[in-house]
């Protein structure tokens, strides 16, 4: 008897297939409490950005709340550093590119972060000195 994939796996099949074809390592897809979790390591920041774009096409503005995308960029990817250029406060590091995304970390004023990719003119994918990876508002970063 074949095991059928879940409704959520069918809904997000384009995202899962994109992750697979883009070379995401240690890819794990699981359902838990009506939420689909996709974990893995992307070979580059551009791949992670493309996966977020696919996610946004399937679930505009990430409103459904039925997917947790935990894709980090391999720590082997080289990156330049940027300085946090806030007035005096910490810079929020977010799960995805947008102020509606949860805060997963902070970078201190004047600290350095590693630039993984420039998602767009507003949001850059960064890694903090503590190893937290997420999106930061580009206006507060000075390369």
95-107 pLDDT tens trace = 999 999 999 999 9
Work out the angle between the directed axes of helices 45-58 and 13-21 (0-180°, nearest 10).
170
2 within some domain: no
- Please check whether residues 136 and 113 belong to one and the same domain: yes
84 within some domain: yes
- Please check whether residues 68 and 85 belong to one and the same domain: no
Q: For residue 110, give its domain range.
A: 80-142
Residue bearing the bigger pLDDT, 56 or 2: 56
Dihedral of CA atoms 89, 95, 96, 101 in degrees, nearest 10, equals -70
By percentage, how much of the chain surpasses pLDDT 70?
Answer: 94
Least confident of 12-16, 69-73, 86-90, 118-122: 118-122
Dihedral of CA atoms 91, 93, 99, 102 in degrees, nearest 10, equals -130
In this prediction, residue 3 carries a pLDDT of 44
Average pLDDT of the chain to the nearest whole number: 90
Domain edge (last residue) among 31, 54, 73: 73
In this prediction, residue 76 carries a pLDDT of 59
By percentage, how much of the chain surpasses pLDDT 90?
Answer: 72
Contacts by 87-93, CB closer than 8 A, 24 or more apart: 91/136, 91/137, 91/140, 91/141, 92/136, 92/137, 93/126, 93/128, 93/132, 93/133, 93/134, 93/135, 93/136
In this prediction, residue 40 carries a pLDDT of 94
């Amino acid at each position: 008897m074949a095991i059928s994939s879940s409704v959520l796996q069918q809904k997000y099949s384009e995202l899962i297939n994109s992750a697979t074809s883009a070379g995401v390592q240690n890819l794990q897809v699981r359902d838990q409490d009506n939420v689909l979790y996709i974990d893995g390591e992307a070979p580059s920041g551009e791949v992670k950005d493309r996966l977020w774009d696919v996610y946004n096409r399937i679930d505009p503005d990430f409103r459904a709340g039925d997917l947790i995308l935990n894709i980090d960029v391999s720590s082997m990817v080289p990156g330049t550093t940027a300085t946090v250029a806030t007035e005096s406060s910490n810079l929020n590091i977010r799960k995805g590119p947008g102020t509606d995304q949860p805060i997963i970390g902070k970078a201190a004023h004047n600290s350095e972060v590693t630039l993984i990719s420039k998602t767009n003119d507003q949001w850059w994918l960064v890694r903090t000195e503590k190893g937290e990876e997420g999106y930061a508002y580009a206006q507060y970063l000075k390369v």
